[in-house]
Structure 1
């Protein structure tokens, strides 16, 4: 198994609070969510249901609704709201100044 690697994916200025954005590490899409609390979460960039880009969805009150099939996810935890049995694959995030980095090739949360 490859070793864990912290990879810069964006800067804080790339993503307003309350928004989500799609970023890439090579050909791997990563969705960043900048929560209203100021925290940043990172998830696999595609919906676990049908593989559509999650960042194309709508965010209301911290819940992301996938644009393809209306599945809903809590952006603070990645837990499925509808259906509750689904969960987003999450990655650890760290900030170094304005830089946002994601831990890849490690164990996802």
Structure 2
């Protein structure tokens, strides 16, 4: 695995999400309140809408366009349940937040 630094912890807020570009890919980073930081594809698998423009309620990532929602821990679809976000390996070393994009493919769903 080739982890790349995407930001520092001070660039994120617990309970919020932020988007970062890594190796030409947009990565959505979420930090659930009292939870661990996770990284997912930054576009909705429905119609390529940037998820950072949506909402994050601390448990679900919700697309602004059609309200598709995803679990912030696993990336599994909540609405609709047969959708999913690609999840990237992520780790924190000191103050550095690092992600590995190798081998992860952005997922697309039915329309």
TM beyond 0.5: yes
Q: 1:58 — aligned with what?
A: 55
Q: 1:10 aligns with which of 7, 11, 24?
A: 7
* Runs of 4+ displaced beyond 3 Å: none
Residue 73 (1) aligns with residue 56 (2):
no
Check whether the contact 1:5–1:106 (CA below 8 A) recurs between aligned residues: no
Residue 44 (1) aligns with residue 36 (2):
no
Structure 1: runs of 5+ lacking an equivalent = none
Deviation of the 1:61 alpha carbon: 4.0
Deviation of the 1:27 alpha carbon: 2.6
In angstroms, what is the RMSD of aligned CA positions? Answer: 1.4
Q: 1:20 — aligned with what?
A: 17
Deviation of the 1:106 alpha carbon: 3.3
CA distance in 2, matches of 1:34, 1:60: 10
Check whether the contact 2:32–2:58 (CA below 8 A) recurs between aligned residues: no
CA distance in 1, matches of 2:5, 2:35: 18
Richer in strand (by share): 1
- What secondary structure, in the 3-state scheme, does the structure 1 residue paired with 2:3 have? strand
Give the paired residue count.
105
